[in-house]
Structure 1
């Protein structure tokens, strides 16, 4: 596992075993995850989305506590997965990192509580599976404009974005901060401490 600068987030690069029958790999190992992250991953919900090329989902985040950690993998096709630090007071506040997830590299991405998450489908039928530490709770979940100039995410210019009405009308980071809806770094740190082994 490799840590991202915007954390707590890690890229998981599995060993893929291939032969004439196809391929096999382990995309999640609880013991390895716990040793690196310092906590167990509590599975509360599993989601799968299938997206046509250009579909942009997010930026989504949940209030902390409890937040919602995600363990994401692209099972078919390719996506550009983006993690954004939206924790007010964090040393990396407003910073983002992008990771390509696809059915060749088989990478997975762990995104801790308090971080924003989005992905852009780079192929048709991009199939993304993600495990969630908490179930969907609309009253604690929010979205940020993925084209907010304050974030300046470098989305690929050759892909025409297709957004849901909800994502297209999401407020800016500054507006969410003004409304007090962003998680604070201090609250997130306290929550992480409560999850440690």
Structure 2
């Protein structure tokens, strides 16, 4: 397992060691001891899974403190562009984002720590996404930022005529309108 740092501190990409042979492949998607060795100290308590078709953009979602969620995101089928936005007010990368292609083929995972908004777009015909969280869903703590916020300028790698977004996500505030952050 290789932990790849990104341009934003604490946001890392997990590259598993994949063992392939004539039968197929095997890899450890999660190994608590190896995560701890690399300073990733979350206690995951729930797995979530979604299925989406091409052009779907889910996000940008988060929960505020004390119910903030860390997420370990991976793709079981298809390909997505996974995006995390730093909302830690005291961070030198506040308001910046990292995007990475996660796919069933490359088997990469994105470790999204507390203090980040998260979302993804589906680049393949369909995609199944699974992610671990370290905090249960808490409706009153749910927040988000519009996927097409001009300040963030995220390129979701999906053409405008393909974009599919939930009604809930279309009415989210812009980055400049949010009245919460993480310290």
Class of the TM-score when normalised by the shorter of the 2 chains: over 0.9
In structure 1, the partner of 2:53 is 52
- Does the residue aligned with 2:80 lie in a helix, a strand or coil? strand
Rounded Cα–Cα distance in structure 2 between residues aligned with 1:133 and 1:173 = 25
| Aligned pairs (5 A) from 1:113-152 | 113-152=114-153
Query: Number of paired residues?
Result: 180
In structure 1, the partner of 2:69 is 68
In the TM superposition, what whole-angstrom CA distance separates every residue of 1:34-54 from its partner, at most 9, and x where no partner exists?
121252x21222100001011
Query: Which structure has the highest helix share of the two?
Result: 1
TM-score by length of 1: 0.86
Query: Which structure has the highest strand share of the two?
Result: 2
| Aligned pairs (5 A) from 1:33-112 | 33-39=35-41, 41-112=42-113
Structure 1 unpaired stretches of 5+: 186-197
Structure 2 unpaired stretches of 5+: none
In structure 2, the partner of 1:32 is 34
In the TM superposition, what whole-angstrom CA distance separates every residue of 1:87-130 from its partner, at most 9, and x where no partner exists?
22321111001010001110011100111100001112200000
Rounded Cα–Cα distance in structure 2 between residues aligned with 1:47 and 1:38 = 19
> Does structure 2 conserve the Cα–Cα contact (< 8 Å) formed by 1:76 and 1:126?
yes
